Structure 1
Amino acid sequence: MFNCKPIFIVLFLLTTVCTFTISCSEQRRTVVKNFPIDTPFVYNNKIILKGNLPKDEKKRLLTALENYWDDSLLARREQIFLFFYTLKNPPLFDSVNISRTTTFMNGYLNSQGYYYPKYQDTFYIRKYRRYRRWHKKRDLQLQTTVELTIEPGKNMEIDSVYYSLLDSNLQQLALAKRQDSKLKPGGPYSKEAVASELDRLVNQYRQNGYYLLTRDYLIAEGDTTDKALLQLTIDPFELASRLASAADRRKKNPTVDVAVFQRGDYYRKHYSDSSIQDSANLKPYYIGNLYYFPETKATEIPDTLMNANGFKAEEHKSFTMFYKEGTFIDRPIRDHNYMRRGTLYNEDLYYKTVNNLSNIGAWARVDTRSVIRGDSVDFYMFLVPAVRQNITYDLEASYNTGDVIGAANSLFGIASSVTYRHRNVAKRAIQSATSLRGGVELNLNNSNNGNLIQTTQASASQRFTFPRFITPFRIKGSNKLDAMQTAFSVNASYINRRDYYELRSLVTGWGYEWKIKNRIWTYKPLNIELYALDTLQGLREAFQTNPLLRTAFNTGSVVSQQLSYIVSYPDKKNPGINNYVRFSMEEAGFLLGRFKEMQDRIYQYIKFEGEYKRTIPFRKTTVALRAYGGIGLSYSDKAKFGSTLPFFKQFIAGGPNSMRAWGLRQLGLGSSLLSDTSGSFRDRYGDMQLEVNAEYRYPLATMGSVRIGGALFTDIGNIWNIKRTESNPNSEFNLRRLGKDVAIGIGTGIRMDFSYFLIRVDFGIKLKDPARQANNGWLDISRFTWRNDEFQPIKDATDASGQRLINRNNYAIQLGIGLPF
C-alpha cells in the first residue's frame, strides 16, 4: 500500500522552514563575496516615499525609482537557492555618488509631472566580521546601507489643451477626435501622457492617408506661466509680491497649459532638418496596387522577388496574386484583404490585413514591402507558408489524494494523445485537427475490489476551422471583426468507471469565433450531444442511499446553443497588472422542448458561468487572484430528468485546479454529510458553484534552464444544489447558511518551470471543512490529525471482503501541469 504520510511530514517541515527563513531579513540571507576589506561598500539600497500619494501611485513610483540608482550605489543581489542571495563585487561607497542618483531620480519624477520633489539622503554603516575557516581570520565588512527619502510633492495638473496646426486638414482631424485625447484638463501631467497623445494623433493621421507622417512632425509644449504675471505693473514691490505668490501657488497647485504644434513654417527657425519641411510627407496617399506572393519560401529574400520572373499572375478586383505551384487559391486572401485600390491609406486596415493573414495558421509569417508611386502606395505581401502537416504527441499526468469513489484513495491519472494537423485543406487555408486520446485513473491504494485501474477513457475527435464566416446570409459589419472563424467539430468518447457506469457519447457542433480588439467572442448556434449511459452495480446501490443521483445519472440528449465572451486587459493605473474576464452561457432544449414527442428525449436547462482573474506582479514575486461563479437550472417537467442538471454538465470542486485541499470531486454539496458518510458512491456534482482563490508566488532557485518557484495559497468555495431535496438536506444553496457551507483550504506548493511546460505539486490542508462537525468546521490546530475520525468507521462497499474502511483525510496532495489559474 502506498503510504503518503512521510511526504506530508516532509512538506510540512519544509513549509515551516521556509516561513521561518522568509521572516528573516534579506540582509541576513545574503552572502557577500569579493568585498573590499576594511572599506565601506554598498550593501543595500532603500527608498522611502513620503507625502499624500494614492497607494497604487506610490507603488508605481517606488518600483520605477529603483531603476534610477547610480551604478556606483547599486547593490545587485543574485538568488542562489531558495531564499538565499549572494552579493558579488559590491561597489565602494562614496557619498558623492548620491547626488548623481538624485539627479537621475529627479529627471524621472519631472517626467511624471512632479516638478518640486524634496530629497533627504542618509547612510549608515554596519560592521560585520566574517570568519574565513581556511585563513583562520575574521575579515571586517563595513556594510553600507544608502537610504533616500523623497517627498515628490503634488503632481502637476493640466489646465488646458489646445492644438495649433498650420495644415488645415491636420487641424480638422485633431479637433474631430478631441474627446479621445490622452490629455484631459484637470488630469495629471506627465511626459508619458504627452507622448501617448502625440502617438494618438499620428495614428489618427495615418488612418486618413498620411502614410509618411511621423512623430517628428509634431511637437508639444508645456507652459507653466502664471497668468497673473501677465498683468503689467511698474511697482517693483507689487511685482515681487506677485512673483512670490506665483511661486507659492505653483508648489501648492502646479498647473500647465499644453499646446500641440506642427513642426513646419511655424518652427522653421528652431528646426533645420529639411525632411521635416518636405511637403510631400504631409499629404494624403492612396492605396495603389496590391501584390500577394502566398508561396514565399522562408529562405527567399522579398526584395529580390519583387522583380523576379517565372511567376504566374492571377488578377483580381483588389489585388494580384503571384504563384508557381498553385498551393493556395485566392479565397483566404480575398476574405482577409481589407485594403482596396483607390482608397485612402489606412494604417489600421493595413495591420488588420497583416495580422489576420498571420493568425489563420496557414502562413507562418507575413513580410511586406511598399513602393511610393505619385500619390499612391503599392504594397507587396510575401506570405511564408507554415508546415503543412505534422503530428504531435502529448502526455498528461495528475495526482491527488483524498476521498474518492469507493475509498480514501490516492489517484494517479495518466493520459496520452496523438494529433494530426493539416493547415491547408483543399488549398483554402482550412485547418484540420484529428486527435486520438486515451487515459486511465490508477487507484494506488489498490481498493475498489483490488482493481488498480479505476477509470478508463478513450476518445477520438475531428475539427475543421474555416478562416471565414460560413452563413446563409451576409453578416452586416463583419468587415470590422478580426480573426473570423467557422468551426465544425465532432467527438466520440467512451468512459468506463469500473463498477459504477459506462458512458458513451457523440458530440458535434457548428460555431463561430471572432475578435473585436482584445475581446474574443464565440457563438455556437448548434451543439448536439448524444449520450448512452449504462449503470452498473455500484451506482445502482448508490441510488438507494442517495435517490437524487438517479435523476442526474440518466440517459438523454443535449441540443443547445452556447455563447462565451473573453477579454484580457491591463490595469489603467498600473499597466503591469493584468485582468482576465470570462462569461459563458448555454441554453438547451428551449425550441425542441416545445414538441411533446421530444420532451422525454432531450434535456432542458440553462447554465451560466463567470470568471475573473487578476495578476499583480511585484519586483520578484506575484500575487494571483481568481473569482469564479457558476449556476445551472433545469426547467424540464419530466420526472425522468429530475430537478438537477445532467451530471456531465454539473459543477465539481476539488482536485489540482479547484479546491486543492480536497480530492477530485470530493467537496460538497454545501454542508451535507450524505456523500461523506456513504460507503459507495462519494463523487459530488452540483448545480451551483462559488469559488475564490488567492496565490502568492515567489522564486526559489534556478537550476540550469529550470526555474523553481514556490507558492502559498488559499481556496475558498463550495458547490450546491439549487432546489431543496428531502433526501439530501443542507445540500441546497441558502444565503443564511453560507458561513457554514463555505470551505477554506490553505497550503503551499512547488512549481518547476521548464519554459515549454510547468509541473506543479500542491499540498493543501482543510482549514475549514463543512463536513467537519467539531469547532463549527474549523481546524483545531492543537488537536490536528491527518485524518478525520468523527464518524463511525465506514466500510468500503466496493470491497468484496467487506473489511476495508474509508478514511477522511484533512489534507490533499495535487500534481498538475501548468498554473492552477
Structure 2
Amino acid sequence: MKQLHSKIVLIFVTALLLYSCNAVKRVPDGKYLLVENQISLDGEPIKDQNIYAQLSQRPNTRVLGIPFSLHIYNFAKKDPDSTFQEWLAKKPKREERLSKRLSEKQLYELEQSYVGINNWIKKIGEAPVIIDEAKLEKSRKRLERYYRRRGWFNTEASYTVDGDSTQRAKVNYKVVRYRPYIVDSIKTQISSPVVDSLFQQTRSQSFIKEGEQYKAENFENEIDRLTLQFRNSGLYDFDTEYVTFEGDTVDTDHKALITYIIPDRTITTPDSTYTEPFKSYNVNKVRIVTDYSYSRRAEQFTDSINYKGFELYSFDGLDYKPKAITDAISISPGKVFRDIDRSLTYNQISDLNVFRYPTIEYSPDPDDPEGNGLIANILLSPLKKYNLDVNFDASTSTVQEFGVAFRTTFSIRNVFKGAETLELSARGSLGSSQDAADADQRFFNISDVGGNAALQFPRILFPLNTDKIIPKFMSPKTRISTGVGFQNNIGLDRQNLNLAFNYQWEPSPTKTWNLSLADIQYVRNLNTSNFFNVYRSSFDIVNDIAQASGYVYADPENPSLGIPEEIDQFINDALGDNPDGLVFTRDNLEELASVDERRDRLSEDNLIFSSSVSWIRDSREDTYDLSFTRWRWKLESAGNFLSLITDLANTEVAEDGNRKALGVEFSQYVKGELDFIRHWEVNQNAVLAVHAFGGIAIPYGNSNSIPFIRSYFAGGANDNRGWRPFDLGPGSSGSRLDFNEANFKLAFNAEYRFTLLGALKGALFVDAGNIWNVLDSQQDEAFRFSGFSDLGELAVASGFGIRYDFGFFVLRFDTGFKTHNPARDLGDRWFKEYNFANAVFNIGVNYPF
C-alpha cells in the first residue's frame, strides 16, 4: 500500500512538472511571462513586502513553487467560440448528424455551454502576468514616490528585464537613495484666534518634530490630529481641507523649513464668497424622534416630553422610558459641540438592539442670538418588537442511527420600556439508537430537550451608581439568564439547571470586560448504573483485570462482567476483601481504584456556584483585517460563597468529610486561563496565524477534583488535529479512557494559510499540546504533570487543509498526522504514525483560531 501511495505521488508530481513547462502557452511571441521581481536598495537586495507592494505587476500566485492558478487558466481554450466551430467542421458530417439529433436551439445551447465552461475555468484560474512596459514604468515611479514621501527627495529608481529563450523573465528594480531631508524649523500662519489658541494647547503632541527626518505620513497624521481636536472643541465648520503646509527646501542644505497654514473659514453664498474667523459652537437643543420613518416625516407628533433638557417626540405615543434612550446619547444640551459625541451615540444606540442605525443631523439654532448654537436632531427607527427564529437539523452518528433536532428563539424587544431584550429559546432532539438504555423498540428512543430564558438590560444593574466607573460610552450591559435541560437514554440521563448574572462593558473598541457575579450550575445524573455501558474503555479495563485474576464468570461461555450488578460486586470485592482464588497485581489494584474513582466523579451530581472576570483585547478593526492580535484572560473561583454559608449553617457532611448544599457536595476550585492569537499578512495571498493557550483549574477545600463539565480535553478540529476530541492525553497515558480530561492544559498552534484558486484556500499547520492532572486526586504518574520535564509529553500534529470561503462563513477540511505521540515509548515517538492509515480527518466551520 505504501509503495502504491509513493507511485501515485511520484506520477502526480512528475505530471505537474511536465505540465509546468507549458506555462507560457498564453504568452504572445516577443513577450515575457513575469516569474520574479527583485528590488535592490542602495546596492543591497531587500525582501520588505511593503516595498514589493508598490509594484504594479507581480508574478502569478505559486503554491509549493508551482503556479497552479496559471495552469488552470491555460487549460481553458483561448477562443472557445472558434474552437467549437472548428470541432464541428473537423469531420464533414458531424454538424449534419448533430443537427438531425438536436434542434437549432439545442445546438446553440451546446455551444454556449462549451463557451461557459471555458470562461468558468478562466475565472477560477489566473491569467499569465505578461511584462508590460507601461506598468514597469508605473512601478518605477511608485518606488521613487515611496521613498520621497519618507524624506529621500532625490531618490532615483530604474529597472531592467532579464528574459530568456523560454519567454520567462525576471525584473530587477534598482533604487538609489541620497541624503534625506530633515525638518529644521516649524512656523505657523493661523488666522482665527480660537484656532490658534487650540493649536497652542496641544502643540507638544504634534507628529512633526524639529530635527526628525521628513515623512509625509507625519503630516497626514498631523492634519487628522488637528481636525479631530478642533471638531471636538466646538469648531463645527472645520474640516481637513483647512490645514495645509508650506515647505521650503531651496538652498537649505537638505533641511525642510515647515509652515503651518490654517486660514479663516470660507463661506459661499449664491451671491458671493467671503471669509470669517472660526468660532466655537454649543449644542443648545437635542431633539429625539423615537419612532421615525421616512413615510411619516411630514406628519405631526402626537406625544412629546422634556427629560433633563432632552426633547423626545413620537408619532404614536412614547413607548420608551426617556432615561433608557438618553443614557445612550452622548450629545448633551448646553455642552460644547464635539464630533466624537456623534460617533459614540451611533454606537450606543446600535448597542441597544431596539433601533436601526440612527440618523444624526445638526442644524443652526435660529433662536440663538449669538449665532453659535446648534440643534442636534436624532431620528430613531425601531426594530420589530417581536422576532422568531426556527432551525431544524437531521443527522447520523456512531451514537444514533438517525436524529432530528430543532432550536427556536423568540425575542421581545423593549420589554419594560427601558430598551430591554427578552430571549426565550427552546431546543430539542429525538434520535434512534440501538444502544439506548431502555429496552423498548420505539424508533425514536433517545431525547434531549431544554429551554433558556435571558433578559438583557442596556445598563449596569447595581444598588450604587456606577456611571463614574463604567460610563455610558462603554456600552454597559447586564444579562440575567436561566436554563434547564433533560436527557433521556443518553449517557447517564443527565438533568441540569443553569442560572447566571453577568455584566459586560467595552472601555474601547478593542477592549471588552466580562464580569460574572454568579454562575450557578446544578447537574443531576439519573441513570448512574449505566456508567459501564457508556464508558466502554473503563469496562474493558475492569473486564481484562477480571479475566487475568482468574474470576469465574456467571456465564462462563460469555466471559463478560454483567452490568451493573456483577461488575460492581467484582470491584467492591477486589478493592475490599479479596475473594479466595483471585490474584491481583499491585498495578491491577491501582487500575481498578482509578476506574472506581473516575466512575464516582463522572456519575456524581454537581453543584457549581462560581464567579469570574475576563478581559479581551482584539486589535482587529473588521473582518477584512488580516493582521491583528487578540489577548484573552479569565479568572474563575467556585465554591467560596457556599463554603461560607454551609459552615455557618453547619449543613450535612458527606462520608468523605465534604460539606453538602441542597443535598449535594458542591465544587470548590480556582481556575485561570490565558489565550493569545496573532495573525500576520505575509502577502496579498497568504497569512501566518499562531495561537497559544494555557489553562489550569486547582481544586481545594470541598473538592479534590474538578467537575467533568469544567475540565479540559484535547484533540479535535479546533485543537490538536492529529487526535479526535477527548482522544489525547492525559500526559503519556495513551488515551485509555473514552473521554480523556484533566485540569491542566497547554495548546500551541501555527498555521500558514494561502490562496489556491479564488475562494478555495489551502493551509499547512503544526499543532502541539496536551492535558495533565495536577494538584488533584489523580495518582497515576502517566496522567500527572510533575515538572518541566513533562513538557516532553506535548503531542505534536502536522498536516494540511483546504477551505472554501463562502464570504459569511468558511467550510474547512483538515488532515492531521500524529508527528510526536507521547503515548508511545521514549525514543519511539517521532513520525511512527505519520501516514494516512493513522491520519485524522477534521471538518469544521470557520478558521480554528
> Is 2:229 the partner of 1:204?
yes
Q: Which residue of 1 aligns with 2:362?
A: 370
Tell me if the contact between 1:687 and 1:722 (Cα under 8 Å) persists in the aligned partners.
yes
Q: Which one-letter code corresponds to 2:196 in the other structure? A: Q
Tell me if the contact between 1:459 and 1:494 (Cα under 8 Å) persists in the aligned partners.
yes
Structure ID, larger Rg: 2
Of residues 687, 704, 707, the one that matches 2:743 is 687
1:288-307 aligned within 5 A: 288-297=284-293, 299-300=294-295, 305=297
Tell me the percent identity. 22
CA distance in 2, matches of 1:291, 1:127: 75
| SS of structure 1 residue aligned to 2:715 | coil
Aligned residues: 711
Q: Which residue of 2 aligns with 1:700?
A: 756
| SS of structure 1 residue aligned to 2:471 | helix
Q: Which one-letter code corresponds to 1:818 in the other structure? A: N
TM-score (norm 1): 0.76
- Change in Cα spacing, 1:739 to 1:509, as seen in structure 2 (3 Å) is closer
Q: Which one-letter code corresponds to 1:546 in the other structure? A: V
List runs of 5+ in structure 2 lacking aligned partners: 75-121, 366-370, 540-591, 652-658
Between stretches 202-211 and 765-774, larger displacement belongs to 765-774
Tell me if the contact between 2:712 and 2:771 (Cα under 8 Å) persists in the aligned partners.
yes
| SS of structure 1 residue aligned to 2:357 | strand
Q: Which residue of 2 aligns with 1:622?
A: 687
* CA RMSD between the two structures: 4.5
Q: Which residue of 1 aligns with 2:412?
A: 422
- Change in Cα spacing, 1:259 to 1:523, as seen in structure 2 (3 Å) is farther
Question: In the TM superposition, what is the alpha-carbon distance from 1:609 to its structure 2 partner?
Answer: 1.3
- Change in Cα spacing, 1:520 to 1:670, as seen in structure 2 (3 Å) is same
1:660-703 per-residue CA deviation (whole Å, 9 max, x = no partner) reads 11111111111124x42xxxx4211111111111112222335x
Question: In the TM superposition, what is the alpha-carbon distance from 1:536 to its structure 2 partner?
Answer: 3.1
List runs of 5+ in structure 1 lacking aligned partners: 1-5, 129-141, 230-245, 269-273, 402-408, 788-809
| SS of structure 1 residue aligned to 2:484 | strand
Of residues 34, 48, 56, the one that matches 1:58 is 48
Q: Which residue of 1 aligns with 2:306?
A: 315
| SS of structure 1 residue aligned to 2:326 | helix
Question: In the TM superposition, what is the alpha-carbon distance from 1:316 to its structure 2 partner?
Answer: 2.3
Q: Which residue of 2 aligns with 1:536?
A: 529
| SS of structure 2 residue aligned to 1:385 | coil
Tell me if the contact between 1:749 and 1:763 (Cα under 8 Å) persists in the aligned partners.
yes
Question: In the TM superposition, what is the alpha-carbon distance from 1:742 to its structure 2 partner?
Answer: 0.2
Question: In the TM superposition, what is the alpha-carbon distance from 1:389 to its structure 2 partner?
Answer: 2.1
Q: Which residue of 2 aligns with 1:261?
A: 261
Q: Which residue of 2 aligns with 1:814?
A: 842
CA distance in 2, matches of 1:30, 1:261: 56
1:147-195 per-residue CA deviation (whole Å, 9 max, x = no partner) reads 3233556876656766564444433433434454444567664322311
- Change in Cα spacing, 1:89 to 1:620, as seen in structure 2 (3 Å) is closer
CA distance in 2, matches of 1:742, 1:659: 10
Of residues 653, 667, 673, the one that matches 1:603 is 667
- Change in Cα spacing, 1:664 to 1:96, as seen in structure 2 (3 Å) is closer
Question: Which one has the bigger strand percentage?
Answer: 1
- Change in Cα spacing, 1:600 to 1:29, as seen in structure 2 (3 Å) is farther
Q: Which residue of 1 aligns with 2:119?
A: none
| SS of structure 2 residue aligned to 1:337 | coil
CA distance in 2, matches of 1:49, 1:752: 37
- Change in Cα spacing, 1:764 to 1:576, as seen in structure 2 (3 Å) is closer
1:290-689 aligned within 5 A: 290-297=286-293, 299-300=294-295, 305=297, 308-326=299-317, 328-329=319-320, 330-373=322-365, 374-394=371-391, 416-438=406-428, 457-477=448-468, 478-479=470-471, 481-495=473-487, 498=490, 500-518=491-509, 519-534=511-526, 535-539=528-532, 544-549=593-598, 550-551=600-601, 553-569=603-619, 577-595=627-645, 596=647, 597=650, 599-601=659-661, 602-617=666-681, 618-636=683-701, 638=702, 641-642=703-704, 644-673=705-734, 675-676=735-736, 681-689=737-745
Question: In the TM superposition, what is the alpha-carbon distance from 1:388 to its structure 2 partner?
Answer: 2.6
1:757-781 per-residue CA deviation (whole Å, 9 max, x = no partner) reads 3322221111111112263421237
1:247-287 per-residue CA deviation (whole Å, 9 max, x = no partner) reads xxx5xxxx65654332349x99xxxxx9996325x110000
Q: Which one-letter code corresponds to 1:279 in the other structure? A: E
1:244-259 aligned within 5 A: 246=253, 250=254, 256=256, 258-259=258-259
TM-score (norm 2): 0.73
CA distance in 2, matches of 1:724, 1:520: 33
Q: Which residue of 1 aligns with 2:171?
A: 146
| SS of structure 1 residue aligned to 2:48 | helix
Tell me if the contact between 1:548 and 1:727 (Cα under 8 Å) persists in the aligned partners.
no
CA distance in 2, matches of 1:80, 1:683: 42
- Change in Cα spacing, 1:181 to 1:734, as seen in structure 2 (3 Å) is farther
Tell me if the contact between 2:413 and 2:419 (Cα under 8 Å) persists in the aligned partners.
yes
Tell me if the contact between 1:456 and 1:497 (Cα under 8 Å) persists in the aligned partners.
yes
CA distance in 2, matches of 1:779, 1:465: 52
Q: Which one-letter code corresponds to 1:463 in the other structure? A: A
1:527-584 per-residue CA deviation (whole Å, 9 max, x = no partner) reads 222221342343596675434423465323122212111111159xx98511111111
Tell me if the contact between 1:121 and 1:146 (Cα under 8 Å) persists in the aligned partners.
yes
Q: Which one-letter code corresponds to 1:205 in the other structure? A: F
Q: Which one-letter code corresponds to 2:497 in the other structure? A: L
CA distance in 2, matches of 1:524, 1:85: 55
Q: Which one-letter code corresponds to 1:336 in the other structure? A: A
Q: Which one-letter code corresponds to 1:193 in the other structure? A: N
Q: Which residue of 2 aligns with 1:110?
A: 148
Question: In the TM superposition, what is the alpha-carbon distance from 1:288 to its structure 2 partner?
Answer: 1.9
- Change in Cα spacing, 1:415 to 1:812, as seen in structure 2 (3 Å) is farther
Question: In the TM superposition, what is the alpha-carbon distance from 1:399 to its structure 2 partner?
Answer: 10
CA distance in 2, matches of 1:318, 1:411: 65
| SS of structure 2 residue aligned to 1:546 | helix
CA distance in 2, matches of 1:351, 1:364: 15
Of residues 278, 287, 293, the one that matches 2:283 is 287
1:772-793 per-residue CA deviation (whole Å, 9 max, x = no partner) reads 2263421237xx5666xxxxxx
| SS of structure 2 residue aligned to 1:508 | strand
CA distance in 1, matches of 2:324, 2:720: 45
Q: Which one-letter code corresponds to 1:589 in the other structure? A: G
CA distance in 2, matches of 1:652, 1:14: 39
- Change in Cα spacing, 1:175 to 1:320, as seen in structure 2 (3 Å) is same
CA distance in 2, matches of 1:157, 1:717: 51
| SS of structure 2 residue aligned to 1:672 | coil
Q: Which one-letter code corresponds to 1:195 in the other structure? A: E
CA distance in 2, matches of 1:627, 1:18: 39
Of residues 742, 748, 755, the one that matches 2:807 is 755
> Is 2:241 the partner of 1:216?
yes
- Change in Cα spacing, 1:158 to 1:83, as seen in structure 2 (3 Å) is farther
1:398-448 per-residue CA deviation (whole Å, 9 max, x = no partner) reads 9999xxxxxxx9999986422222233233321222222235899999999
- Change in Cα spacing, 1:83 to 1:766, as seen in structure 2 (3 Å) is farther
Q: Which one-letter code corresponds to 1:262 in the other structure? A: I
1:726-805 aligned within 5 A: 727-773=779-825, 775-780=827-832
Q: Which one-letter code corresponds to 1:491 in the other structure? A: G
CA distance in 2, matches of 1:768, 1:666: 15
